[in-house]
Structure 1
C-alpha cells in the first residue's frame, strides 16, 4: 500500500475528503517528527513505541585494507512493537 492508497482508504473510513485527510496526515507527521527531534518518546497504544537513541562512536576496520576508521556518534530512530501487535503475528 502506498501513501496515496493509504490516504484514500483513511479518508473513506473517517468520512473526510482526501485533501482534509492528507492535511491531517501532514500535520500529524510534522508534530510526530518535532516531538522525536526534541528527544521525546511516542507510545501508540496497541501499536508500539518510537524513540530516538544515540549510538556511540565506534571504530570500524575495513576487512580488505585493514584500515581503521572512526565512525562518529549518530541518532537512530527505534521502534518497539506492542505485545498486542506481536501477538497478532504469531
Structure 2
C-alpha cells in the first residue's frame, strides 16, 4: 500500500478529508520522533513498542582484505511488536 492509498483509506474510515488525515499523520510522526529523540520509548497499545537502543562499538573484518576496523557505537531504532500482532503473522 502506498502513502496516498493509506491516507485515502484512513480518511474514509475517519470521515475526514485527506488533508486533515495527512496533518494528523504528520503530527503523530513528529511527536513520536520527538519522544524518541528525548530517549523515551513509545508504546502503542496492541501494536508494539518503539525504542532507541545503543549498539556497542565492535571490530569488523573486511572479508576480502582481512583488514580489521573499529565500528563506533551508534543508536538504532528498534520495534518490538505486541504479542497479538505477532500471533496474526505466524
Other-structure match for 1:12: 12
Q: Report the Cα offset of residue 36 of structure 1.
A: 0.6
Output aligned runs, 1:18-29, within 5 Å.
18-29=18-29
Q: CA RMSD in A?
A: 0.7
Which 4+ stretches in 1 moved above 3 angstroms?
none
Q: Report the Cα offset of residue 64 of structure 1.
A: 1.2
Q: Aligned partners of 1:68, 1:87: CA distance in 2, in Å?
A: 41
Other-structure match for 1:56: 56
Output aligned runs, 1:1-90, within 5 Å.
1-90=1-90
Q: Which runs of 5+ in 1 are unaligned?
A: none
* Alignment deviations for residues 40-90 of structure 1 (CA, whole Å, 9 cap, x no partner): 011111111111000011110111111111101111000111111111122
**What TM-score does the superposition give when structure 2 sets the normalisation length?**
0.96
Q: Which runs of 5+ in 2 are unaligned?
A: none
Q: Aligned partners of 1:36, 1:16: CA distance in 2, in Å?
A: 28
